Copies of this chain bind each other. A is one copy, B any other.
Amino acid sequence: MDKDRPNESWDIAQVPDLDRIDVGILRLLQNNARLSVKEIAAEIGLAPSTTHERVRRMRETGILWGTHVEVNPKALGIGLEALLMIELSKHNRGIVDQFLDDIVSVPEVRSAFLVSGRYDLVVHVVVHDTQHLKDLALDQFTIRPGVTRIETSIIFDARRRYELPVFRSLR
């Protein structure tokens, strides 16, 4: 199904070792996946062939997942983004999982989080304008069984980091 994630469900104990060089490679590729092996090699001070082998291995072992281009949302007519904070009435596992699967197939949904706290679900959506946002909220979310309440938070500004930090010991 998802060829980019061969080992998504691995237990942490089974995740292969990493060293500082691997982490350096990951750092570069997270910020710019179009770097050539040669450029990466120069940056970290290894031979291109060695660097290539490390990248290949990390893909193989499920450390590196897919790579994705980022598209300018404005170029697609996306003029507004929002977070929908959703409360559900029933917390039956099957229902919640199904809910997640359902909403992620809605084109306007960028990501969906099942969370603890005041809300049950936080959903990041992209739309054309406020009218579109209203229709989306009503037609795709409020209407669903199990949804008791939705709060809509317009996104005024956003920042993103592409590099994940490292919280484990390195070989």
What residues of chain A have their CB less than 8 Å away from a CB belonging to chain B?
4, 7-8, 10-12, 15-16, 18, 26, 29-34, 62-79, 82-83, 85, 97, 100-101, 103-104, 107-119, 122, 126-128, 132, 151-168
What residues of chain B lie closer than 8 Å to A70, measured between beta carbons? 4, 64-68
A26 to chain B, nearest CB (A): 6
A91 to chain B, nearest CB (A): 11
Q: Is the CB of A122 within 8 A of B153?
A: yes
Q: Is the CB of A167 within 8 A of B83?
A: no
Task: Report the Cα distance A135→B2, complex, angstroms.
Answer: 35
Cross-chain pairs A/B with CB under 8 angstroms, 21 sampled: A10-B74, A11-B74, A12-B77, A16-B75, A33-B66, A63-B75, A65-B71, A68-B68, A76-B167, A78-B167, A104-B159, A104-B160, A107-B161, A109-B161, A111-B158, A113-B155, A114-B155, A116-B156, A118-B151, A119-B153, A128-B168
Q: Is the CB of A159 within 8 A of B111?
A: yes
A103 to chain B, nearest CB (A): 8
Task: Report the Cα distance A156→B33, complex, angstroms.
Answer: 29
A45 to chain B, nearest CB (A): 20
What residues of chain B lie closer than 8 Å to A116, measured between beta carbons? 153-154, 156
Task: Report the Cα distance A155→B78, complex, angstroms.
Answer: 27
In the complex, what residue of chain B is closest to A105 when comparing beta carbons? B161
